[in-house]
Amino acid sequence: QVQLVESGGGLVQAGGSLRLSCAASGRTSSTYSMGWFRQAPGKEREFVAGISRSGFSTHYADSVKGRFTISRDNAKNTVYLQMNSLKPEDTAVYYCAQSELSLVTVAPASYTYWGPGTQVTVSS
C-alpha cells in the first residue's frame, strides 16, 4: 500500500508562486511515474503535470506549460510542483498520484494511488 500526502497549498495573489510537495510512504514510489492533477468546483479532474520514474521525462498540460515545473527526489520519496505566474483559473484542489507505470501517463485511470488533495486559491 502507498500513502500520498500533499502540502504547500494556500491562498496567493495572481502572479504569485506556490510550491506543492507530495510525500509518499509505504511501498517504494521511486519505481513509478508520478503526476499532479487538479479539480475545480463543477469541473472534472484534469491532468496538470507528470514525471517519469527516472525524472528525465516530464509532460505538462498546455494550460500550465512554461509556468509550472514538476520534479522529484527519489531519495526522499517526494514529488514537487513549482507553480509560478499563477492565475485565478489555476484555483482548484491539487492531487498527487502514483501510477504503476514507469513512463508518464496523463489518464487518471492509469494512476493507482491518490493523495487527499491540497487547496490552491489564486485571487485576482
Give the model confidence (pLDDT) of 34-65 as tens digits: 999 999 999 999 999 999 988 999 999 999 99
Residue 114 has pLDDT above 60, yes or no: yes
The pLDDT score that the predictor gives to residue 119 is 98
**Burial class, 37, CB count within 10 angstroms (exposed 0-12 / middle 13-18 / buried 19+):** buried
The pLDDT score that the predictor gives to residue 96 is 97
Residue 30 has pLDDT above 80, yes or no: no
- Residue 117: all three cell numbers together: 488533495
d(CA 5, CA 68): 20
pLDDT range class, residue 102, cuts 50, 70, 90? confident
| Residue 18 · residue 83 · CB < 8 Å | yes
Tally Cβ neighbours within 10 Å of residue 17: 11
pLDDT range class, residue 101, cuts 50, 70, 90? confident
Residue 7 has pLDDT above 90, yes or no: yes
